[in-house]
Amino acid sequence: MSRRYFGTDGVRGRVGEHPMTVDFALKLASAAARVLAPQGGTVLIGKDTRLSGYMFESAMEAGFVAAGVDAMLIGPLPTPGIAYMTRRFNCDFGVVISASHNLYDDNGIKFFDASGGKLSDALEERIEAELEQPPLTRASRNLGRATRVDRSRTLYQEFCASTLPPGVDLSGLKVVIDCANGAAYKVGPRILADLGAEIVPIGCSPNGRNINDGCGSTAPDLLQLTVPGVRANLGVALDGDGDRLVMVDHLGRIVDGDQLLYVMARALQRAGMLRGPVVGTVMSNLGLEIALRSAGIDFRRAPVGDRYVLSMLRETDGILGGETSGHILCLDKTTTGDGLVVALQVLAVIKQTGCALAELSSAMRKLPQILLNVRVANRFDPGEVPLIQQAVARIEQQLGTEGRVVLRASGTEHVIRVMVEGREEAETRAAATELAEIVKRAAA
């Protein structure tokens, strides 16, 4: 059975358009209750700061309670915080109402199982099958209860702080933190301040509409100006639900997910704690692969999407992986991508080595990477078109061992993504432009 509503990260869409409507949210809650807690149980519900989060929270609360499931409402908290607190409270499952790095017009609903992991495809398919049934309302004696547990957020703050190595704090560091006016706006600054850092908060004043709007990991321009402007050691930028991270060095330069993976992998290697390969994706910069290879660290590539990175880490007994976007998994610390936990690991390396972020990341040279989106009338697999295959083979031969070509169809749009990497930017851009034109001709 193919999934109609669940994508790579839950259900997501434009608020007011199917499926992101109140009636669908209530039906989804009822369906999830029947699959994940058929005999009753407890669900933890968290959200980010979108205006629509309140109505979806209320709709899902009604659906769960009517189906006999107790609902614990924790309010705005990062997605990884919900994963952690689901385990901590021994809930049967957790729910996050968030559209991650999207603007406030969108929203989404994603689930965690009792262990704080994402649901399997099989469970998501079972929930979708239950959507065919009308919402369940049990007799009064079997209804669930709803309670607010907002003050329990401090437990997540304590957990994040506990991931620092013993004896390490953040005293002496001046950090600008940008929370994208999102779910981490309270806990993010508090964690860093409690650990002794001098903080300058930006993007920490949500109004329901300004999440990810000109701020956060997807729009770090203000952070890049602020860090050198206030003479901070570095900047931390999260996305709207706190599971992604990019950083900015003292000169205002972006340090992305690939560079952060390199810094963390080398630190774990030096400490004798790195296990298994480091896992990136087909879109990870070739410079990361080359730098890790030079350091004697195995590197593997998974398909795009953190669930595929997680799957490969489990298959290979690895503990560290992630995406260029800053969605990084530290499986020795937690079960899902957590921007705050990752930031603390990098800050710990800075404190332990006495090196600036710019110095730590400089050993990985990012190769020019040109990504072009080719809009097509109908989705197709570019790898099955002879004209495109021949062009790819020719360009790969031209680029040599320090170049790469990746073509993939978007899973959500009528777009073919053309990515070319190489040593020289001009040559790489020319190759990407040529290949994009060939894809256009093939799609016509």
Catalytic residues: 100
Q: Name the DSSP class of 1.
A: -
Q: Are strands 146-148 and 69-76 parallel, antiparallel or unpaired?
A: parallel
- From residue 195, alpha-carbon distances to 58, 175, 198, 200 in Å are 35, 12, 9, 14
Distance CA 214, CA 222 (A): 8
Task: Give the 3-state secondary structure of 157-222.
Answer: HHHHHHCCCCCCCCCCCEEEEECCCCCCCCHHHHHHHHCCCEEEEECCCCCCCCCCCCCCCCCCHH
Q: Which residues contact 223 (CB under 8 A, 6 or more apart)?
A: 176, 178, 202, 215, 235, 237, 248
Contact status, residue 293 vs residue 299, Cβ threshold 8 Å: yes
Q: Are strands 198-202 and 174-178 parallel, antiparallel or unpaired?
A: parallel
Q: Which amino acid is at 169?
A: D
Contact status, residue 245 vs residue 235, Cβ threshold 8 Å: no
Question: Taking the chain, what is the end-to-end CA distance rounded to the nearest angstrom?
Answer: 31
Q: Which amino acid is at 174?
A: K
